[in-house]
Chains A and B, each alone.
Chain A
Amino acid sequence: MIYFDNGATTFPKPLSVRRAVAYAMQNAGANPGRSGHSLSLRASQLIYDCRENAARLLGVPSPENIIFTLNCTTALNTVIHGVLKKGDHAVISSLEHNAVLRPLEAMKQQGVSYSIAKVVCGDDEATLESFRRAIRGNTKLVICTGASNVFGVRLPVERLAALCRIYNILFCVDAAQMAGCVPIDMLDSGIDFLCCAGHKGLYGPMGTGILAVNTDVLPQSLIQGGTGSMSASPLQPEELPDRFESGTPNLPGIAGLNAGIKFVLSRGEDAIFREETRKARLLYDGLKRNKNITLYTERPDPAAQVPVISFNVRGHDSEETAAALNDKFGIAVRSGLHCAPLAHRHFGTEDTGTVRAVISVFTTPAQITYFLASLDKIF
């Protein structure tokens, strides 16, 4: 299988990640943070190591500000449901994933409202103005994707963070397609909440995610329960990360995530981003030469995009193209709406969807050549 579905989850994972998962299961298989015996302490150490490395990677002030979640969606829901109350308003971008849209839509029943700020591709000033216009007196939270999961378009998150500071509004970034690829420094940028998938650009196993917190204004916890701490109290602990981490954590997953983060740290996000952009340009240029292909964005530019490319074969639905790539050529891509109907509406691809090809560090030029050659003869 030639794998270009790295936007859904990266594959393969580094060998170190697979080994770390196996190590945790074989050598540290006790419940972390619950008991005092050596095996439990070893498990706790694995979890803590991941917190430290994640804090280093994301520019978070303390390991305690790294919350482990099931995935990016859980992290986003923690912020959205935990921050917004009846009468509050939120602003989101026109490129958001359903992980942002659906919780906000559900919260309408609780008296929460939201507005959609139009992203103007290639014009950050105009995008900022869209957000500025959407802000109201009762706006409590601005949430935006760091980079569209369908079209790769980056949003000016640092400038949006500064805008939110001026209006005293909390700012949350959906970094699902961005973490591990685009360098992020939460402390410098002023982002309050950063939500990451652990299994995409961070190369961890599925079932891992991170909520990084850089504010004293903490959301209510979505779930409450045992944390291994302050057990005599019926109240959920206030301290991070326990406030948001009830129940037994995914130790093998987090051990794997730690190895994935170390993999990213050792290569360097800048180097990864450069390398992936170079490969994405190779793919884009080849697609551009094919007269039967429709592309929706400009040539990959690190300042404006992450290496996510959406396209269609003229006259064919995206599902049809993806099925043919799989059946005839053994190529894995994602088709349809990518759980992001807003983004497709923005680009006018709501009816057909798009075929999405996403580069990872393991994508080779030979795979790209094969991909392009397959599209030449697909129909």
Chain B
Amino acid sequence: MQNIITFASMTAAMRARELLRRNRIPARMTRTPAKYRRGSCGYSLVLERDADAALKLLRQSDIRYRGVFADDDR
């Protein structure tokens, strides 16, 4: 199962990906899938693992994200 973290801006998504990369948590950048867009477009990170550690790091670094979704469609 994948976890998707959505962001309000490309810069926030890039900053998050860089933080996760430094902490050896691989994440792939993608456009936010339609079902998670909540009426808006933007960018997301796709994690092939549990998102808890990643979210903890984001909060510690004050990187704001919009939502977290468990995506079992893929």
Contact of A45 among B8, B9, B14, B31 (CB under 8 A): B14
A186 CA / B15 CA spacing, docked (Å) = 20
In the complex, residue of chain B having the shortest beta-carbon distance to the beta carbon of A242: B9
A232 CA / B40 CA spacing, docked (Å) = 5
A51 CA / B57 CA spacing, docked (Å) = 20
Q: What residues of chain B lie closer than 8 Å to A44, measured between beta carbons? A: 10, 14
The answer, yes or no, to whether B23 is at the interface (CB within 8 Å) is: no
Contact of A64 among B12, B39, B40 (CB under 8 A): B12
Main secondary structure of the interface of A (DSSP, over half): loop
CB distance from A266 to the nearest CB of B (A): 20
Q: What residues of chain B lie closer than 8 Å to A32, measured between beta carbons? A: 10
With A35-B31, A36-B30, A63-B15 as contacts: A229 and B64 at CB distance below 8 Å: no
Q: Is the beta-carbon distance between A239 and B8 smaller than 8 angstroms? A: yes
Q: What residues of chain A lie closer than 8 Å to B14, measured between beta carbons? A: 44-45, 48, 63
With A230-B40, A231-B41 as contacts: A239 and B12 at CB distance below 8 Å: yes
Chain B, 34-61, contact with A by CB distance < 8 Å: what is the 0/1 string? 0001011111000000000000000000
Q: Is the beta-carbon distance between A64 and B15 smaller than 8 angstroms? A: yes
A264 CA / B8 CA spacing, docked (Å) = 32
Q: Is the beta-carbon distance between B15 and A229 smaller than 8 angstroms? A: no
A233 CA / B8 CA spacing, docked (Å) = 12
The answer, yes or no, to whether B29 is at the interface (CB within 8 Å) is: yes
The answer, yes or no, to whether A241 is at the interface (CB within 8 Å) is: yes
The answer, yes or no, to whether B71 is at the interface (CB within 8 Å) is: no
Contact of B42 among A48, A51, A64, A230 (CB under 8 A): A230
Contact of B64 among A33, A45, A230, A239 (CB under 8 A): A239
CB distance from B60 to the nearest CB of A (A): 13
The answer, yes or no, to whether A374 is at the interface (CB within 8 Å) is: no
A64 CA / B30 CA spacing, docked (Å) = 19
Q: What residues of chain B lie closer than 8 Å to A232, measured between beta carbons? A: 37, 39-41
CB distance from B70 to the nearest CB of A (A): 21
A34 CA / B67 CA spacing, docked (Å) = 20
Q: Is the beta-carbon distance between A36 and B15 smaller than 8 angstroms? A: no
The answer, yes or no, to whether A16 is at the interface (CB within 8 Å) is: no
Q: What residues of chain A lie closer than 8 Å to B39, measured between beta carbons? A: 232-233
Q: Is the beta-carbon distance between A237 and B8 smaller than 8 angstroms? A: yes
Q: What residues of chain A lie closer than 8 Å to B9, measured between beta carbons? A: 64, 227, 229, 237, 239, 241-242
CB distance from A35 to the nearest CB of B (A): 7
The answer, yes or no, to whether A22 is at the interface (CB within 8 Å) is: no
Q: Is the beta-carbon distance between B29 and A41 smaller than 8 angstroms? A: yes
Q: What residues of chain B lie closer than 8 Å to A229, measured between beta carbons? A: 8-10, 40-43
In the complex, residue of chain A having the shortest beta-carbon distance to the beta carbon of B62: A62
CB distance from B34 to the nearest CB of A (A): 12
The answer, yes or no, to whether A228 is at the interface (CB within 8 Å) is: yes
In order of increasing CB-CB distance, the 10 nearest A-B pairs are A36-B31, A33-B10, A48-B14, A232-B39, A232-B40, A231-B41, A229-B9, A230-B40, A242-B9, A229-B42
24 contacts between A and B (CB under 8 A): A33-B43, A36-B31, A48-B10, A62-B15, A62-B62, A63-B14, A64-B9, A64-B12, A229-B10, A229-B40, A229-B41, A229-B42, A230-B8, A230-B40, A232-B41, A233-B39, A237-B8, A239-B9, A239-B12, A239-B64, A241-B9, A241-B11, A242-B8, A242-B9
- B-side interface residues toward A, CB under 8 Å? 8-12, 14-15, 18, 29-31, 37, 39-43, 62, 64
List 5 additional A-B contacts (Cβ < 8 Å) besides A229-B9, A230-B8.
A44-B14, A48-B14, A48-B18, A229-B8, A232-B39
